[in-house]
Amino acid sequence: MTALIACSHGTSSPEGRAVIARIREKLALAVPDAAVHEAYVDVELPEVARVVSRAAAAGEPVVVVPLLLSTGFHTSVDIAGAVLPHPRAVAAAALGPHPALVLALRDRLAALSGGDAGHRPGDQVVLAAAGSSDPAAARAVEHTRDLLAARLPCPVSIGYGAGCAPTIPEAVEAAREAGALRVIAASYVLAPGHFANLVRGAGADLVSAPLGDHHEVIRVAAMRHREALATLPARKRIPGFSRADPRKVTAG
């Protein structure tokens, strides 16, 4: 079987850990031909490079699926470095940006205030992302903002938890100064934890739940796995070996 390493950031939040565990469980159901393993880039163990090394030693293809919404240091350094020494290991793209994640964001917004969040006159939505110093991460969030704005009748701006400006509180305040009667923070984070807490504390009138184990998140993660797996070279087969019993050598 393929080793699918579901690599998340890591969190000290018990609720966040439970959400990530549910994502792994649902991903295992969505990709039944892969063995799903947990790994992290920070806070929790096991560390991703160690999990990749252990899985690669078994000789099967290894795909690391970042349970991260945008590219950044953890994808380009931690995860990329983990797969680099292993020819049969590959890193999938980050989950976002992807239109399916915007559907998940829209569903989380619809769960607020009787389903009218972002649709009432005077509303403004702040897409609240974790943030990164990597310019590619900011471009990915901006693309997600554009996709979300195309599905909502109200203005959509961006606020970041770290790494770049504006901060989420600054974006909330700017929306009010621009005349918003109600500011809604769309939590563009995967699970409860540090960044979800920043979103909740930013002063918005309404705050959506993290994307969590929404079915669109699982669908995108499974798709990222398939895309990455397709880039690996086919394993060389030795003529004469039976797949049913590798100890047997057939004639011819």
Query: Does 87 fall in a domain?
Result: yes
Which residues are within 8 A (CB) of 181 and not within 5 positions of it... i.e. 6 or more apart? 120, 121, 122, 123
Asked if residue 133 and residue 71 are part of one domain, the reply reads: no
pLDDT tens-digit map of 142-185: 999 999 999 999 999 999 999 889 999 999 999 999 999 999 99
Q: Order of strands across the sheet with 34-40?
A: 34-40, 2-8, 62-66, 89-91
Asked if residue 122 and residue 185 are part of one domain, the reply reads: yes
Q: For the domain that residue 202 is a member of, what is the CATH number? A: 3.40.50.1400
Query: Does 237 fall in a domain?
Result: no
pLDDT tens-digit map of 100-133: 999 999 999 999 978 888 899 999 999 999 988 8
Q: Can you give the pLDDT at residue 235?
A: 55
pLDDT tens-digit map of 58-69: 988 999 999 999
Query: Does 168 fall in a domain?
Result: yes
Query: Does 196 fall in a domain?
Result: yes
pLDDT tens-digit map of 184-228: 999 999 999 999 999 999 999 999 999 999 999 999 999 999 999
81-90, 93-102, 175-184, 242-251: least confident range: 242-251
**Count: domains in the chain:** 2
9-13, 100-104, 162-166, 238-242: least confident range: 238-242
Q: What is the mean pLDDT of residues 5-10?
A: 96
pTM of the predicted protein model: 0.88
- Look up the domain containing 35 and give its range: 2-95+214-229
Asked if residue 218 and residue 130 are part of one domain, the reply reads: no
Asked if residue 194 and residue 147 are part of one domain, the reply reads: yes
Residue 230: pLDDT band (50, 70, 90) is very high
